[in-house]
Amino acid sequence: MSLDEYKAKRRFEKTPEPPPRVEDDEGRRFVVQKHQASHLHYDFRLEMEGVLKSWAVPKGPSLNPNDKRLAMMVEDHPVSYLLFEGIIPEGNYGAGTVMVWDTGTWEPLGNAHEMLAKGDLKFRLVGEKLKGEFVLAHMRSRRPGSKGTEWLLIKKRDSAARENFDIDQFDWSVLSKRSMKQIAGDQGSEEWQSNRSATPRSRKNAWLADAIAVSDRRKAAASKAAKGTAAKSVSKRRSRPAKATAKGRSSTRKAG
Ligand code: MN
């Protein structure tokens, strides 16, 4: 397995994401990351063959066996990406907020390598939110010129299935318990909004936007360890330039 594509898409002096490194050992962990890039989506990753095999799932995984979730296979990620949560700075590939939405272990229901190659990967998850059996099924594309990256993620019918599953009810990190807004550093902004609900969001933030964009770039360059403040936090959603979102979209366009 290679992390060349992962490496080529990123500048590691600009993003807090981990550098590429293929592991020797064969672990069996998984992670689902909620990723607010140009489009909100979930990244489903299985530790396998020294990397994280990865799929972008626009609507996220579901415990409802009736849901067939489109899952676009994307580039392998390094295993150290498992517990990555935070902000990918504006101007970088996939810029936006990343939450560790679920993690745990997985167990292939057969030979993992063969099932992956065949496009019929059956497995069991033991996570905090996701449990039970699933299948990732490669779709044979009828469209000429299709990249062939489309899979479906489907829950099997078992005791962990939940027909009323609603992913929006699970907006917390299993790592830090934070919501997406909290990870984005939006707590101050939320308080402000609830106190002054008559003020439109765009107006209340407009005067800050420019100063914040500059401060954000400095902060990203200087240190990811900088502590959040209300002023910085407002910028997370506001100051992402169109350029950055266009870049992020290239990876997730099909992922909604
Ligand atoms: Mn993503």
Distances (CA, A) of 64 to 58, 132, 155, 161: 16, 11, 6, 6
pLDDT for the residue 219:
55
**Terminal-residue alpha carbon distance, the chain:** 27
pLDDT for the residue numbered 255: 35
Report the SS3 class of residue 244: helix
pTM recorded for the entire structure:
0.71
- What's the pLDDT at 146? 76
Q: Can you state the percent helix, strand and coil of the chain, rounding each to 5?
A: 30, 30, 40
Q: What is the pLDDT along the chain (256 residues), one digit of tens a residue?
A: 689 999 999 999 999 999 898 888 778 999 999 999 999 999 999 999 999 999 999 999 999 999 999 999 999 999 999 999 999 999 999 999 999 999 999 999 999 999 999 999 999 999 999 999 999 999 987 777 778 899 999 999 999 999 999 999 999 999 999 999 999 986 544 444 444 333 333 433 444 444 445 455 555 666 545 444 444 444 444 444 444 444 444 443 333 3
Give whole-number Cα distances, 170 to 34, 81, 165, 176, 177, in Å. 10, 21, 10, 13, 10
- Centre of ligand 1 to C-alpha 56, Å, is 6
Location of structure tokens 């990732």? 136
Instruction: Report d(CA 188, CA 20) in Å as an integer.
Output: 35
- C-alpha 37 to ligand 1 mean position (Å): 7
| In contact, 45 and 102? CB cutoff 8 Å | no
Distance, CA 107 to ligand 1 centroid (Å)?
A: 23
pLDDT value for 141: 73
Measure 199 CA to ligand 1 centroid, in angstroms.
Answer: 32
Rounded distance from Cα 196 to ligand 1 centre (Å): 33
pLDDT value at residue 17:
92
CA of 188 to the centre of ligand 1 (A): 26
Please tell me the predicted confidence (pLDDT) of residue 91.
94
Whole-number Å distance, alpha carbon 102 to ligand 1 midpoint, is 14
**Per-residue confidence (pLDDT) for residue 251, from 0 to 100:** 41
